[in-house]
Amino acid sequence: MESEAALGIESIDTPALVVDLDIMERNMKRMALRAEEAGVRLRPHVKTHKSPWIALKQLQYGAFGITVAKIGEAEVMRKHGITDILIAYPIVGEQKLRRLEKLAAHAEVTVALDSVEAARGISEVGRRLGKTMSLYIDVDTGLQRCGRQPGEETLQLARDIAKLPFVRITGLMTHAGHSYKADSQEERIRISRLEGALLAETKRLIEEKLGLDIPEISVGSTPTSFHCKEVEGITEIRPGTYVFNDATMVSLGLAGIVDCALTIHTTVVSRPSEDRAVIDAGSKTLSSDKGAYTEGYGCIRSAPQVRIDRLSEEHGVMLTAHDFPVSIGGRLEIIPNHVCPTVNLADELIGIRNGKVETVIPVEARGKNK
């Protein structure tokens, strides 16, 4: 029975980020099932939601640990009782190493890196704690961001790290972010197979040459997670976006509009001409990150043919026809192009179920870029 106290969505002031909890939970279950069927572990990247409340739900729905980018995010998640954390980012500098020391004293932390300089810092943290720290080597399988090249280059780094005390290489990881630019399922499968093969081959090389045991092969990105069953050797996936989905995922054919759990509720505030309407969500709300959705700055759920053509910080300028039915004060729901930076602009998410407000979810790890 519906609570009498439950508020309808019209009670929410705009712009607001609204999460349909049923859709979100279905997304969580599907990805957990996909991981289970593939025999891999699900370690979602929490950068998409930045909310301990949602991270705990992911763990409840089958995830076995989480991934974060920065120590600040790990600290927030640890405070809420989450103890198995991969920091998929090199930790450099004494201030951050001191914080890592505190964190690792009370949590199972793995750190990813791609240099011996970064590894030396972690080794020092291990020494201070009297504890062997777990490391992943970041391998570049095509994104050309961080990461050593597969094969000999990664072997050389593994050799250098193996000489350091208080650290152990427990895995190889990669993030095939270029899969967001793949324009067909075949291309995505090719990228997925390649990342798996490159990591597996590099793992064999290191194990053979250095006599080490590297248990984990960890791959990231929501698009390649869809193919984890078809790729040999993977032990762990780290998708993020799947929890909400977004217009990029829809444009890639990896989600339907009905699978998009997060929308931005906006109000039309100006109708300066027949061919233009302005909403109260600009780049400060939607972010100016376009992702792979090329039809504008977000997809209007009730009118996907209407283009959000330009953003200022507080204005979204839509190109409209003269008979566009929404007038000043009317509301629109927008699916963001790339949901992760959108969430990073918000202090809270409004959780709804069956059109009623159920909870307000603080984005507690928002802005934690240190």
| Binding stretches for its own copies (CB under 8 A) | 13-16, 47, 69-70, 89-90, 92-93, 95-96, 114-115, 117-118, 140, 144-149, 177, 267-273, 276, 278, 280-281, 283-285, 287-289, 310, 312-315, 317, 327-329, 340-341, 344-347, 367, 369-370
Judge whether 61 and 28 are in contact, CB under 8 Å.
Answer: yes
Query: DSSP alpha helices (H): ranges in the chain?
Result: 21-38, 52-60, 71-79, 94-104, 116-129, 152-162, 185-210, 222-225, 247-251, 283-286, 339-343
User: Least CB distance from residue 285 to its own copies, whole Å?
Assistant: 5
Does residue 209 come out as left (phi exceeding 0), alpha (psi in the -120 to 50 range) or beta? alpha
User: Least CB distance from residue 84 to its own copies, whole Å?
Assistant: 21
HEC states along 50-113?
CCHHHHHHHHHCCCCCEEECCHHHHHHHHHCCCCEEEECCCCCCHHHHHHHHHHHCCCEEEEEE
- If we measure between CA atoms, which residue out of 167, 161, 81 comes closest to residue 131? 167
Angle formed by the axes of helices 116-129 and 152-162, to 10°? 30
Torsion sign (Cα): 26, 31, 35, 38:
positive
User: Least CB distance from residue 369 to its own copies, whole Å?
Assistant: 5
Residue closer to its own copies (CB basis): 71 or 231 = 71
**How far is Cα 154 from Cα 146, in angstroms, rounded to an integer?**
12
Residue closer to its own copies (CB basis): 92 or 257 = 92
User: Least CB distance from residue 36 to its own copies, whole Å?
Assistant: 28
Residue closer to its own copies (CB basis): 335 or 340 = 340
User: Least CB distance from residue 97 to its own copies, whole Å?
Assistant: 11
Residue closer to its own copies (CB basis): 131 or 310 = 310
User: Least CB distance from residue 101 to its own copies, whole Å?
Assistant: 15
